[in-house]
Amino acid sequence: MDTVIVLFNRDLRVHDHPALAAACADACRVVPLFVADSRMPAGHRASFLAECLADLRGSLRDRGGDLVVRQGDPVVETVRLACELPAQAVYVSADVGALAQRRERRLAEECRRHRMGLRTFPGVTVVPPDELRPSGGGDHYRVFTPYWRVWSGQRRREVLKPPDKVPVPEGLEGGPLPVAGHGPNGLFPGGETVARTRMRQWLKYCVEDYAAGHDDLAGNRTSRLSPYLRAGCLSPLELESLAVNGDDFVRQLCWRDFFHQVTRAFPRINRDDYRSRGQRWHDDEDAAQAWKEGRTGVPIVDAGMRQLLAEGWMHNRARMVTASFLVRRLRVDWRVGAGHFFDLLLDGEVPNNYGNWQWVAGTGNDTRPNRVVNPVRQARRFDPEGEYIRRYLPELDGVPTKLIYEPWRMPTRIRGYPAPLVPMD
């Protein structure tokens, strides 16, 4: 083939990128393309994306290539560029959300109409979401443990090296990149280069401690690689293949795959109950707003929500506690909380965010859908010194540790900190 377009989306890397590797093998000229559409993220998510794109462009230029950036509808812009070049085929990494599936179908239609080829490749998950089917029938696994068993024994494809050379057509104009603003505290600089450094450090120094430390709220003892996995700066397959001393960590990567295969089969996961149980939600905007601002009066919940506001990230244990508080105690619809998380999380992705929210709300894949998390007990157990709470709620600084989980038990009210929104005893 003469020219192939590689359409990047949630795969912003050059290492272990099956679509890019295949294009470089199949075609004389390769045109890497990213289309920024009107649904592009705002705020710190936008800065993260801009940094990822700048880094990707740098890596492609190091290989003699470039990244073409266009604005508009991804299908329209891809086909327009393909006609201009001209290109004979478009290569993409397959994705699972409703939007991604719709885009892929439209792209397939348009490519057919213009007599161009469209090939989809793996790369967003460790195991492609349509590869494992339950032996008893059905198009996906509904329960994690059987999926984990089969997933663990599955043969993996080969991890691919980055191409030595990306031969772009002469005179190709890359176009301006989106402008990077400031990320929250610079905690998560975007891009594959940073991601790979963090991955190597995590695997060398920390992964062995994961089983013991992953629930330590104050300790930052999880990988914090989720924003990079979400943007595809890291290949989940490569990460798994290198995590030889981290079974518990690899299990989390399997959870990610699990929710991807659920989403592929149930793309309306961000809107509809996966398993409706007829819950009636409480339409309480004030309570939802207090929750979003970290002003519920329950310290562990407020600390988690303020971590999200300040960092664009939240510890997994805090995500469970805050989500459970919203749906179980305030009885607010999971869609309200999930939408808020999705807008602010740097790792906000449809399968993991909505899959986990529905799990917590009891409408998803939890085999114990009535599970309720007690925020005070969780805080005592996973933040035993109250360090996490104090980090995000400076107004509780002077409260003794034994009362920091339940400041409503203090003999006097704490100035600047609210009473709990709902009775806590």
State the minimum distance, in angstroms, from the CB of residue 20 to ligand FAD: 22
Q: Which is nearer to ligand FAD, 226 or 296 (CB)?
A: 226
Work out whether 256 is an interface residue with ligand FAD (CB under 6 A).
yes
State the minimum distance, in angstroms, from the CB of residue 366 to ligand FAD: 11
Residues that contact ligand FAD, how many (by CB under 6 A): 27
Q: Which is nearer to ligand FAD, 114 or 371 (CB)?
A: 371
Q: Which two tokens stand for residue 302?
A: 């407020």
DSSP code of 330?
S
Which residues ranging from 291 to 330 are in contact with ligand FAD (CB under 6 A)?
316, 319-320, 323
Work out whether 358 is an interface residue with ligand FAD (CB under 6 A).
no
State the minimum distance, in angstroms, from the CB of residue 202 to ligand FAD: 8
Of 225, 262, 414, 421, which lies in the binding site for ligand FAD, with binding defined by CB under 6 A? Answer: 225
Of 141, 259, 274, 405, which lies in the binding site for ligand FAD, with binding defined by CB under 6 A? Answer: 259
State the minimum distance, in angstroms, from the CB of residue 385 to ligand FAD: 21
**Sequence-ordered list of residues with C-beta below 8 angstroms from that of 120, at least 6 positions apart, any chain:** 19, 91, 92, 93, 94, 104
Work out whether 356 is an interface residue with ligand FAD (CB under 6 A).
yes
Q: Which is nearer to ligand FAD, 340 or 390 (CB)?
A: 340
Dmax over Cα atoms in the chain, in whole Å? 77
Alpha carbon distance 292, 309 (integer Å): 9
Of 8, 121, 151, 255, which lies in the binding site for ligand FAD, with binding defined by CB under 6 A? Answer: 255
Of 3, 78, 93, 222, which lies in the binding site for ligand FAD, with binding defined by CB under 6 A? Answer: 222
Which residues ranging from 28 to 47 are in contact with ligand FAD (CB under 6 A)?
none
Q: Which is nearer to ligand FAD, 130 or 209 (CB)?
A: 209
Work out whether 151 is an interface residue with ligand FAD (CB under 6 A).
no
Tell me what percent of the chain is helix, strand and coil, each rounded to the nearest 5. 50, 5, 45
**Sequence-ordered list of residues with C-beta below 8 angstroms from that of 162, at least 6 positions apart, any chain:** 14, 15, 16, 17, 20, 59, 63
State the minimum distance, in angstroms, from the CB of residue 411 to ligand FAD: 35
The region of 161-169, 249-257, 300-308, 372-380 touching ligand FAD under the rule CB under 6 A is 249-257
DSSP 354-422: HHHHHHHHTSSS-SSTT----HHHHHHHHSTTSHHHHHH-GGGTTS-HHHHT-GGGSSSPPTT-PPPSS
Work out whether 229 is an interface residue with ligand FAD (CB under 6 A).
yes
Work out whether 216 is an interface residue with ligand FAD (CB under 6 A).
no
Residue 263's region, left for phi above 0, alpha for psi from -120 to 50, else beta, is: alpha
Angle at the Cα of 97 (from 257 to 321), degrees rounded to 5? 65
Q: Tell how far CA 171 is from the center of its chain.
A: 36
160 neighbors 178 (Cβ within 8 angstroms): no
DSSP 191-219: SHHHHHHHHHHIIIIIGGGHHHHTT-TTT
Chain contacts with ligand FAD (rule: CB under 6 A): 214, 222-226, 229-230, 252-253, 255-256, 259, 316, 319-320, 323, 341, 345, 347-349, 352-353, 356-357, 360
